[in-house]
């Protein structure tokens, strides 16, 4: 039985902006990203890691393997957010 994530963004309506951000970050990482379907990049990441991932049911996949896929995507996004924050802070200093 699959369970949908119940995570919600703190800012209402931020879904589209976060999807666009994910697409841009993963494109910079060298992945082919369809801007209208940025979540599909997980299949390309899985392929690059040698992890079999199919559309639909993947219940036989381990949590560790799925975490490797999500970790690469989320980790790249976090690195970019930190870089953006550091850049903004550097501009504010006299």
Domain of 67 in residue numbering reads as 15-92
Is 8 inside a domain boundary?
A: no
pLDDT category at 6 given cuts 50, 70, 90 is low
Higher pLDDT, 37 or 77: 77
pLDDT category at 4 given cuts 50, 70, 90 is low
pLDDT exceeds cutoff 60 at 1:
no
Computed over every residue of the chain, the mean pLDDT equals: 85
Tally of domains within the chain: 1
pLDDT at 81: 93
Helix H, strand E, coil C: the string for 8-58 is: CCCCCCCHHHHHHHHHHHHHHCCCCCCCCCHHHHHHHHHHHHCCCCCCCCC
Enclosing H/E stretch for 55: none
Residues ≥6 apart with Cβ < 8 Å to 39 = 19, 22
Is 6 inside a domain boundary?
A: no
């Amino acid at each position: 039985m699959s369970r949908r994530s119940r995570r919600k963004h703190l800012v209402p309506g931020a879904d589209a902006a976060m999807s666009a951000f994910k697409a841009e970050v993963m494109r910079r990482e060298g992945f082919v990203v369809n801007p209208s379907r940025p979540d599909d990049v997980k299949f390309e990441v899985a392929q690059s890691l040698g992890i079999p991932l199919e559309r639909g049911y993947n219940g036989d996949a381990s949590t560790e393997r799925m975490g490797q896929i999500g970790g690469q995507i989320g980790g790249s996004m976090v690195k970019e957010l930190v870089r953006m924050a550091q850049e903004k802070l550097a501009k504010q200093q006299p």
